[in-house]
Amino acid sequence: MEVVIDAHNITKVYNEKSIPVNAVNGVHLHLERGEFTALVGPSGSGKTTLLNIIGGLDHVSEGQVIINGTDITNMSDNKLIDFRLNNIGFVFQSYNLIPVLTAKENVEFVMLLQKKSKAEREKRVLELLREVGLEDKVNIRPSELSGGQQQRVAVARALASKPQFVLADEPTANLDSKSASNLLDIMARLNKEENMTFIFSTHDQRVIDKARRVITLVDGKVASDEKR
Amino acid sequence: MLLKMAWRNIWRNKRRTFITMASVFFAVILAVLMRAANTGVYEHMVHNVVSFSSGYIQVHQKGYWNEQSIDNSFKEDEKLYHLVSDQKEVTEFVPRLESFALASSDDKTKGVMVLGIVPDKEDKITRLQEKIVEGNYINSKDRSLLLSEGLAANLGLHTGDTVVLLSQGYHGASAAGKYPVKGIVHFGSPELNKRLVSMPISLMQEMYDAPDLITSVSLMMKEGADMEEVKKKLISVMDTAHYEIMDWKQMMPELNQVIEGDKAGDYIVIGILYLVIAFGVFGTILMMTRERMHEFGILMAVGMKKRLLAVVVMIESFLIAFIATLAGMIGALPIILWFKEHPIRFTGEIKKMYDSYGMEAIIPLSNKLNVFTEQAAIVFFIAIFLSVYAARKVYSLKAIDALRS
Establish if A113 touches chain B: CB-CB under 8 angstroms.
yes
pLDDT digit string, tens, across residues A134-145:
889 999 999 999
Residues B143 and B171 in one domain: yes
Chain B residues with CB-CB distance to A116 below 8 A: none
Cβ pair A100:B12 closer than 8 A: yes
Listed residue (B287, B380, B271) closest to B25, CA to CA: B380
User: Which of B302, B400, B405 should one mutate to test binding to chain A, selecting the residue with the greatest count of A CBs within 10 A?
Assistant: B302
Per-residue pLDDT averaged across B155-169, rounded?
A: 94
Establish if A57 touches chain B: CB-CB under 8 angstroms.
yes
Cβ pair A84:B9 closer than 8 A: no
Q: Please determine, for residue A84, whether its predicted confidence score (pLDDT) is greater than 70.
A: yes
Establish if A13 touches chain B: CB-CB under 8 angstroms.
no
Alpha-carbon span A133 to A221, nearest angstrom: 38
Establish if A69 touches chain B: CB-CB under 8 angstroms.
no
Chain B residues with CB-CB distance to A81 below 8 A: 300, 303-306, 399
Alpha-carbon span B171 to B210, nearest angstrom: 9
Closest chain B residue to A101 measured between Cα atoms?
B5
Alpha-carbon span A150 to B94, nearest angstrom: 81
Chain A residues with CB-CB distance to B404 below 8 A: none
pLDDT digit string, tens, across residues B227-274:
888 899 989 988 888 999 999 888 888 888 888 888 888 888 888 888
Nearest-Cα distance to chain B for A228, in Å, is 31
A58, A96, A100 member nearest B298 (Cβ): A96
What integer pLDDT is reported at residue B356 of this predicted model? 65
Chain B residues with CB-CB distance to A99 below 8 A: 12, 295
pLDDT digit string, tens, across residues B336-380:
888 888 888 888 887 777 766 666 778 888 888 888 888 888 888
Cβ pair B8:A52 closer than 8 A: no
Nearest-Cα distance to chain B for A78, in Å, is 7
Residues B223 and B354 in one domain: no
Residues A71 and A139: beta-carbon distance below 8 Å: no
Q: Please determine, for residue B327, whether its predicted confidence score (pLDDT) is greater than 90.
A: yes
Residues B210 and B273 in one domain: no
Tell me how many domains chain B contains: 2
pLDDT: is B178 or B289 the higher one?
A: B178
pTM, two decimal places = 0.70
User: Which of A57, A94, A106, A167 should one mutate to test binding to chain B, selecting the residue with the greatest count of B CBs within 10 A?
Assistant: A57
Cβ pair B9:A100 closer than 8 A: yes
Listed residue (A205, A173, A199) closest to A29, CA to CA: A199
Give me the phi and psi of B94, to 5 degrees please. -135, 130
ipTM reported for the complex, 2 dp: 0.87
Cβ pair B305:A78 closer than 8 A: yes
Residues B59 and B194 in one domain: yes
Residue A205, CB half-sphere, CA atoms under 13 Å: how many? 0
The three-state secondary structure class of B197 is: strand
A107 secondary structure, DSSP code: H
Cβ pair B305:A81 closer than 8 A: yes
Chain A residues with CB-CB distance to B399 below 8 A: 57, 77, 80-81
Lateral strand order in the sheet of A197-201: A88-91, A165-169, A197-201, A36-40, A213-218, A221-227
What integer pLDDT is reported at residue B55 of this predicted model? 86
B221, B251, B281 - which closes a domain: B251
Listed residue (A113, A12, A25, A96) closest to A57, CA to CA: A12
State the count of interchain CB pairs (< 8 A) between A and B.
63
Chain B residues with CB-CB distance to A109 below 8 A: 1, 302
Residues B25 and B79 in one domain: no
Establish if A55 touches chain B: CB-CB under 8 angstroms.
yes
pLDDT digit string, tens, across residues A105-128:
999 999 999 999 999 999 999 988
End-to-end C-alpha distance for chain B, whole angstroms = 26
pLDDT digit string, tens, across residues B226-238:
888 889 998 998 8
Mean pLDDT over the full length of chain B: 87
Nearest-Cα distance to chain A for B301, in Å, is 7
Burial string for B15-49 (b: 16+ CB within 10 Å, else e) reads eebeebbebbbbbbbbbbbbbbbbbbbbbbbbbbb
Per-window interface: A 150-189 vs B, CB < 8 A:
157, 161
Lateral strand order in the sheet of A62-67: A21-32, A3-14, A62-67, A70-71
What integer pLDDT is reported at residue A40 of this predicted model? 93
Cβ pair B303:A82 closer than 8 A: yes
Nearest-Cα distance to chain B for A26, in Å, is 21
Cβ pair B302:A82 closer than 8 A: no
pLDDT digit string, tens, across residues B21-43:
888 888 888 888 888 888 888 88
pLDDT digit string, tens, across residues A179-206:
888 888 888 888 888 888 999 999 888 8
Residues B283 and B370 in one domain: yes
B295, B302, B398 member nearest A77 (Cβ): B398
Cβ pair B306:A113 closer than 8 A: no
Listed residue (B97, B105, B178) closest to B143, CA to CA: B178
Chain B residues with CB-CB distance to A108 below 8 A: 1
B8, B306, B308 member nearest A100 (Cβ): B8
Listed residue (B305, B277, B315) closest to B10, CA to CA: B315
Alpha-carbon span B83 to B238, nearest angstrom: 8
B222, B251, B280 - which closes a domain: B251
What integer pLDDT is reported at residue B18 of this predicted model? 87
Residues B277 and B202 in one domain: no
Alpha-carbon span A103 to A109, nearest angstrom: 10
pLDDT digit string, tens, across residues B82-130:
888 888 888 889 999 999 999 999 889 999 999 999 999 988 888 888 8
Residues B376 and B392: beta-carbon distance below 8 Å: no
Listed residue (A156, A141, A158, A133) closest to A102, CA to CA: A141
Distances B76 to B51, B205, B210, B305 between C-alpha atoms, Å:
21, 11, 11, 75
Residues B267 and B308 in one domain: yes
Helix or strand holding residue B35 (H, E): helix B14-52
B195, B222, B251 - which closes a domain: B251
Pairing status of strand B108-117 against strand B196-200: parallel
Helix or strand holding residue B163 (H, E): strand B162-168
Residues B328 and B384 in one domain: yes
Cβ pair A58:B1 closer than 8 A: no
Rg (CA), chain B: 30
Residues B165 and B247 in one domain: yes
A78, A84, A108 member nearest B306 (Cβ): A78
Closest chain A residue to B402 measured between Cα atoms?
A57
Residues B260 and B365 in one domain: yes
Residues B300 and B350 in one domain: yes
Alpha-carbon span B130 to B122, nearest angstrom: 12
pLDDT digit string, tens, across residues A19-73:
888 889 999 999 999 999 999 999 889 999 999 999 999 999 999 999 988 999 9
Chain B residues with CB-CB distance to A96 below 8 A: 294-295, 298
Domain that holds residue B243: 54-251
B181 secondary structure, DSSP code: E
A121 secondary structure, DSSP code: H
Alpha-carbon span A191 to A155, nearest angstrom: 12
Closest chain A residue to B300 measured between Cα atoms?
A81
Helix or strand holding residue B333 (H, E): helix B306-341
